[in-house]
Amino acid sequence: MQYALIIRESASDFAKRQDPNYKNGWIAYTQALVQAGIMTGGAGLTTPETGTVVRRRGEDHDVQDGPYPEGKEQLGGFYLIDVPNLDAALEWAMRVPVSAEGSVEIRARLQM
């Protein structure tokens, strides 16, 4: 079963991305997923200020560049993993080196 581990980070987490200790934790986690043979994809994302949002307004579209209203957490990246079940996905999610200010959401891939 494929799952997405959706990483949400705080503004201070985004600021720490250049800190070698913070960065090394993410590198080690990614290497563990690869070595376990369960990572099928994923990526870290740039800061929320670099994003663009498209909203549908009837037949028109509204395009808005960042920055966006501050939330406690912003989308920081994701991993796609292939594991037997939700329990296995939870085990891997608990190992994500997200700070106490961040979170990891687990979602199963939609089966078509």
Q: Are 25 and 99 spatial neighbours (Cβ–Cβ below 8 Å)?
A: no
> What global pTM score does this model have?
0.89
Per-residue pLDDT, averaged over 6-14, amounts to 93
Q: How many CB atoms lie within 10 A of CB 104?
A: 19
Q: What is the largest CA-CA distance in the chain?
A: 48
Higher pLDDT, 52 or 29: 29
Q: Are 110 and 26 spatial neighbours (Cβ–Cβ below 8 Å)?
A: no
What is the per-residue pLDDT across 35-93, written as a single tens digit (0 to 9) for each? 999 999 999 999 888 888 888 999 999 898 876 666 788 899 999 999 999 999 999 99
